[in-house]
A = this chain, B = another copy of it.
Amino acid sequence: MTVTLADVAARAQVSPATVSRVLNGNYPVAATTRERVLRAVDELDYVLNGPASALAAATSDLVGILVNDIADPFFGIMASAIQSEIGGPGGRAGGERLAVVCNTGGSPERELTYLTLLQRQRAAAVVLTGGAMENEPHAAAVAAKLRRLGEAGTRIVLCGRPPAPETAAIALTFDNRGGGRELTEHLIGLGHRRLGYIAGPEERTTTRHRLEGHRAALAAAGIEEDPRWTVHGRYDRRAGYEATLELLRRDPSLTAVVAANDSVALGACAALRDSGLRIPDDVSVAGFDDLPFSIDVVPSLTTVRLPLAEAGARAGRIAMGREEPPPGGIATVRGELMVRGSSGAPRE
């Protein structure tokens, strides 16, 4: 029923081998023959059987992209950039590759299962984006899986994720610690001394690093941190809203709120406003990531810009072997402090 290579071969009066070679273009075929074959392909509306060719050639054109939350622009932007370099239709790359975006939802099991699925498909490359879980057994399992994938010839790139030692993975890590520190230094510089911090989920590297940067800045300024000033929550606006109310309840004298990321900061702004506080007159707010909307909210958000698209594009190129990996397989991507309207000097 379905058209096969052999059908095309018969129609073009050549052997299947020749058809295969025309299609793959990796072996000399006389122009007239090629023409004949292509015509037959066209006439029969032939489409290569992917699984069959993957099996025979022992390679596939699938590239996996793992993201924590595809509904979050942070990942969407990276995924988009990665994909554009992976090639796919219209990409600059030569061979057409199918980029597979896998949504782990931040769950370790799903991450692992997706990795297995990708391994099963003999993926050509895998890009893991975003922070990793710090759960020890899980981290070990992922490392083991990455090792096996690497051994099987799958190229592995981490984008916005800390390096995975003992692994062939190339890492493009965001300098979350540095960014966090710079951000808080900025607020301290404005005169803030009582700063609330809305952290992301615990056990996430991103969460920890940003928080560490924040604390380093406090320590450097000789500010002793009050444990009540830190609240953990998810990386979304809802969590930011609730955490801010909690923070306000614990210590109404806070003059600044630093959020784990821009979405959280958005929720924080809403909560402050609903509490009758003005931004930045009463309380300053800062985010992280500099997502597209951050410049449009009112007041616009002071944040740390992460070059998501650039990093993603680079990760994609490395995954495709079109760019040299950084020396040592590790590169740190720095953020840039964006001072905007949501931060100002504290009152009095």
Contact = CB atoms under 8 A, between A and B. Distances in A.
A107 interface: yes
Contacts of A72: 73, 76
Interface in A56-108: 60, 69-73, 75-77, 79-80, 83-84, 88-90, 96, 98-105, 107
B51 A80 contact: no
B110 A88 contact: yes
Q: Which of A76, A122, A266, A269 has the most CB of B within 10 A?
A: A76
A122 B270 CA distance: 47
A44 to B, nearest CB: 12
Nearest to A79: B70
A275 interface: no
Given A73-B71, A77-B71, A297-B296, A122 B51 contact: yes
Contacts of A70: 70, 76, 79-80, 83, 101
Chain A, interface size category, equals: 35 or more
A15 interface: no
A253 interface: no
Interface in A108-149: 109-110, 112-114, 116-122, 148
A225 interface: no
A34 interface: no
Contact of A76 (B2, B73, B152, B263): B73
A50 B121 contact: yes
B51 A60 contact: yes
A280 interface: no
Interface of A: 2, 45, 47-52, 54-55, 60, 69-73, 75-77, 79-80, 83-84, 88-90, 96, 98-105, 107, 109-110, 112-114, 116-122, 148, 152, 236-237, 263, 266-267, 269-270, 273, 292-293, 295-298
